[in-house]
Amino acid sequence: MTLSARHQAFHELHQRGCFVIPNPWDRGSARMMAALGAQALATSSAAHAFTLGRPDMGGVSRDEALAHAADLLGATPLPVSGDFENGFGDAPDVVAETLRLSAEVGLSGISVEDTQMSPGNPAYGFDLAVERVRAGAAAARALRRPFVFCARADGVMNGTYDLAEGIRRLQAYEAAGADLLYLPVPPGRAELARVLAAVTRPVNALAAGPLKALSVADLAAMGVRRISTGSQIARVTHRAIRDCVGAMLGAGSFAGWPGRPRGDEIDALLKHGAK
């Protein structure tokens, strides 16, 4: 699939129905996800940081994130979106520059948060947050090709503002030109329903926290257009490392290791996902 076809396909995915966009952290996980039926992929800033032995939030530079995204783009023929934290800078112009650079490496979209990369993740003031989205949206339109710019209201998840403020921000981000809106993680189904009722643009939901109790069909019926996994799948692999190695080096036991796929099954998935 050409880059142009990837961009068009990614745009069209957001225009109808509901789809899951899993978040790989390296070429192998990207190919396995593609082989298992993913229609698009997204980077995860946390999962990427973990592969580098660094903490989440601010652990990866913009150049590293762009190189990582380009690597995932080369792993499969699927469109890829970038999780670029706060856009790697506070100023609206930096957000716009980050978007342009992401387009240059071939990404079909990016998401940008409205919280700062500092202890406590304080939220940007309302006016600055909206200006940052407006700058990103303008840069996306200037590309003159499909590009999905996702504006995130992260203050509810980070505890820096309440749901009402999150909804007010999403409405302002929509008016500023964002293509996709994202508030991770509302406290429950009723709160997600409030988010969906408050905006008209497509909404992304994170399969984490209380929303993990809902199925893809449940979220689709509510009106969610896209479901992401963030670092959830990567964290499962780290749990396996913790549990298996902890038992082996602690109690000296191999009995509790989870079932493992055969090598030839993994080989087949990796080969299929590259096509």
Q: List pLDDT tens digits, range 115-149.
A: 998 887 899 999 999 999 999 999 999 999 999 99
Is 243 inside a domain boundary?
Answer: no
Is 27 inside a domain boundary?
Answer: yes
Is 274 inside a domain boundary?
Answer: no
pLDDT of residue 171: 98
Boundaries of domain holding 116 = 3-232
Q: Number of folded domains in the chain?
A: 1
Q: 126-142 and 92-105 helices cross at what angle (nearest 10)?
A: 30
Is 24 inside a domain boundary?
Answer: yes
pLDDT of residue 158: 93
Is the torsion defined by CA of 71, 77, 81, 83 positive or negative? negative
Taking a C-beta distance cutoff of 8 angstroms, is the pair 117, 57 a contact?
yes
Is 184 inside a domain boundary?
Answer: yes
Instruction: Using 70 as the pLDDT threshold, list the residues of the chain that sit under it.
Output: none
Start-to-end CA distance of the chain, whole Å, equals 9
β-pair partners for 150: 111, 180
Is 245 inside a domain boundary?
Answer: no
Is 105 inside a domain boundary?
Answer: yes
Cα separation, 260 vs 41, in Å, equals 24
pLDDT of residue 256: 77
pLDDT of residue 254: 87
Cα separation, 44 vs 145, in Å, equals 24
